[in-house]
Each structure stands twice: as C-alpha cells, then as structure tokens.
C-alpha cells in the first residue's frame, strides 16, 4: 500500500513539473465566423491559410514563418509583388498553394501536415473533409469593420501573439478616430455623394449595410445607393446618372482607369465626370478593405472627398507609417 501511495505521489509530482499550470495543458479556444469553437492544445505551428485577409494578418502578427500553405492568388500580379517582399519562400515560389476561396485540394493540404487550416467559412464541403481528419479549421467571413478586429485578435491567440494583435487593433482604431474627429464635423449638406465601382463593371457597386458603405461614411461621404441594403449590387446606367455622384471611386481595375470613365458619353452629365473627380485605388494589397489596411483606403477616400480638410501632401507619409507599423517594411 505504501509503495502504491509513493508511486502515485511521484507520478503526480512529475505531472506537475511537466504541466506547471496544472495536470493538463491549457487549450487555446476561439470562436470562428461560423460560430464554432476552435480549440488547440498549443499555439499553431504549421498553418495552411487559404484566405488572404487572414494571411496578411498573420504577417502583421510576425508569424509568417509558421505558414506552410497559402492561397493560389498570392502568386498572381499585382499581389505577388508585395508578398514576395515579406517572405523569401513566396519570392522563390516555393511555398505551396493548395487552393483559395474557390477550390482546394484536400490531398495537398493533408500533405503539408497542418495543425490549423484557415479558410473561407462558406467552403463547407472542404471544411467538413478537412475536419474529418481531425485538423482544426478556422472559418473566416468578413462583412464589417468589427469583424476585422475579431479576426486579428483570434489569430493572435491561436498563433501565440495576443500582445501584437492588440497593438495592431489599437493602432488602427487610433487612425480611425483621427479621421472621424474631422469628418463628424462635416455638415450633412457638405458631404459629397459617392459612387463606388468594383472592377467587374461600371455599374457593379456596394450599397447600404456593406463594408464599402461604412468606409464611405467614415470618410465623410454619402453612398448614392446607401438606402439599399445590399453588399454587392448592380445599378443600371440610368440609376447611376440619376444618383449624380460628386465623386466616383474605382476599385483597382486592370482593364479600365479613370480616363475611361471620363470619356464615356453615357456618364457625361454626372457631376463627378464634369468636375473630373474620378479616382482609382492603387492596388489590391495596400487597400484591402477586409483587413486592417482598410484604414489606408479610408485615408485616401477622405482626401479625395475633402481635400480642404485632409492634406494630400501628407498622404504618402501616412501610408508609409501605417504599412511600416503593420509589416515592419517600407514598401515602394
């Protein structure tokens, strides 16, 4: 009996030494955008990330070395020219890309032996297949600003850098408050009407209840279709002309530029065309609206909408400051 008691004491003593926080290791728990609890016994060390909003967040968290798989579109221009500067494996195109938001290769994911997969939450079939192998999946679907903060904080916890995640959120919110401190003082009648144009076509836009609508409001403007609750909508040319925006903002477009809109005879009666107030966001990476970099797009919008309030001369320095804080790198 004494031998059994002594043996039990020794085992318990060794367990306490092995797990100083208790007899069992503490797990990391977060809720993903499906509302599902994700639990890891230890911080993720081998991550397959197939959605770019999360991937860019991982590099902001200084955890890029833990990524073993990326979305295929990272190797496409113009995104590639940014990511290649953040990771030499991407520059040499040696980092595997087993899928993206459209399709994934379950076999190629499994070959990478991940302890965490990050994927678009609507890819339910792929998620089910991955989870059948006991691999935790963090599903992502960003529709509003608050969810951007939730995503980076969750990734910070899963990848063992909660302090950095909080720094990133606090920095972004401070930049946001700076812009808001100026735009909230602008009277309703002085807020220009804005039309946001996606790259799919002249009439492709986002209306009320969308991330785009929120950012236009934050920058001191009014979305011409803000009264319609639609994340992605298509207007008729007649609706666009009738809305008569003061400013047109184009998402990065490889097929068109502001000059094409200025020459379009169908749009000639619109104030934005007559006053040549048509602008294009410079690239997909820097202006990613579903990441903390949305704040860069807001800085640009605010200057385009209210040049008398926001100095155009300081825009380049502000962007460099933000990107340097996010990545520790001076992009050119």
**C-alpha–C-alpha distance, residues 47 and 69, integer Å:** 7
- Residue 67 scores a pLDDT above 70: yes
Tens digit of each residue's pLDDT (9 = 90 or more) over 290-319: 999 999 999 999 999 999 998 766 777 889
For β-strands 222-223 and 193-197, DSSP reports them as: parallel
pTM score of the predicted model: 0.88
Tens digit of each residue's pLDDT (9 = 90 or more) over 92-145: 999 999 988 888 999 999 999 999 999 999 999 999 999 999 999 999 999 999
- Residue 44 scores a pLDDT above 80: yes
- Residue 6 scores a pLDDT above 80: no
**C-alpha–C-alpha distance, residues 160 and 158, integer Å:** 6
| Mean pLDDT (whole number) for 238-255 | 96
Q: At what angle do helices 162-183 and 145-158 cross, to 10 degrees?
A: 160
Average pLDDT, the chain: 91
- Give the residue carrying structure tokens 């990524």: 67
In the chain, pLDDT over 90 holds for what percent of residues?
82
- Region of poorest pLDDT, from 71-85, 161-175, 179-193, 308-322: 308-322
Write down the domain spans for the chain. 24-159, 180-327
Q: What is the DSSP string of 58-121?
A: HHHTT-GGGEEE-BGGGGSTTTHHHHHHH-HHHHTT-S---B-SS-B-HHHHHHT--SEEEEET
Neighbours of 261 (CB within 10 A): 22
Length of the chain: 332
CATH 3.30.300.30 fits domain 24-159? no
pLDDT score at 7:
56
Of the candidate CATH numbers 3.40.47.10, 3.10.150.10, 3.30.70.520, 3.40.50.1980, the domain formed by 180-327 belongs to 3.40.50.1980
Note whether 24-159 and 180-327 share their fold. yes
């Amino acid at each position: 009996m004494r031998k059994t008691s002594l043996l039990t004491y020794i085992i318990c003593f060794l367990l306490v030494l092995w797990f100083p926080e208790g007899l069992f290791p503490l797990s990391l728990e977060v809720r993903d955008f499906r509302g599902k609890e994700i639990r890891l016994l230890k911080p993720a060390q081998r991550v397959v990330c197939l959605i770019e909003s999360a991937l860019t967040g991982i590099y902001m968290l200084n955890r890029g070395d833990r990524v073993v798989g990326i979305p295929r579109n990272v190797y496409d221009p113009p995104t590639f020219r940014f990511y290649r500067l953040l990771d030499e494996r991407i520059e040499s195109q040696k980092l595997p890309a087993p899928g993206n938001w459209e399709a994934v290769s379950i076999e190629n994911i499994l070959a990478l032996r991940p302890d965490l997969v990050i994927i678009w939450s609507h890819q339910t079939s792929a998620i089910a297949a991955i989870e059948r192998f006991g691999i935790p999946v963090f599903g992502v679907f960003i529709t509003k600003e608050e969810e951007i903060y939730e995503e980076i904080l969750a990734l910070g916890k899963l990848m063992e850098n909660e302090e950095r995640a909080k720094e990133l959120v606090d920095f972004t919110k401070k930049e946001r408050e700076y812009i808001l401190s100026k735009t909230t003082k602008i009277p309703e009648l002085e807020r220009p009407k804005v039309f946001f144009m996606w790259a799919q076509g002249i009439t492709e836009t986002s209306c009320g209840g969308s991330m785009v609508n929120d950012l236009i409001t934050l920058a001191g403007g009014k979305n011409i279709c803000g009264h319609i609750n639609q994340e992605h909508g298509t207007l008729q040319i007649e609706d666009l002309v009738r809305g008569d925006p003061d400013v047109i903002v184009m998402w990065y477009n490889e097929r068109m530029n502001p000059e094409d809109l200025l020459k379009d005879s169908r749009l000639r009666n619109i104030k934005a065309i007559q006053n040549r107030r048509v602008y294009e966001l410079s690239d997909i990476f820097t202006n990613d609206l579903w990441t903390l970099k949305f704040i860069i797009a807001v800085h640009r919008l605010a200057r385009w909408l209210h040049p008398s309030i926001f100095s155009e001369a300081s825009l380049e320095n502000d962007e460099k400051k933000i990107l340097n804080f996010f990545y520790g790198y001076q992009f050119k």
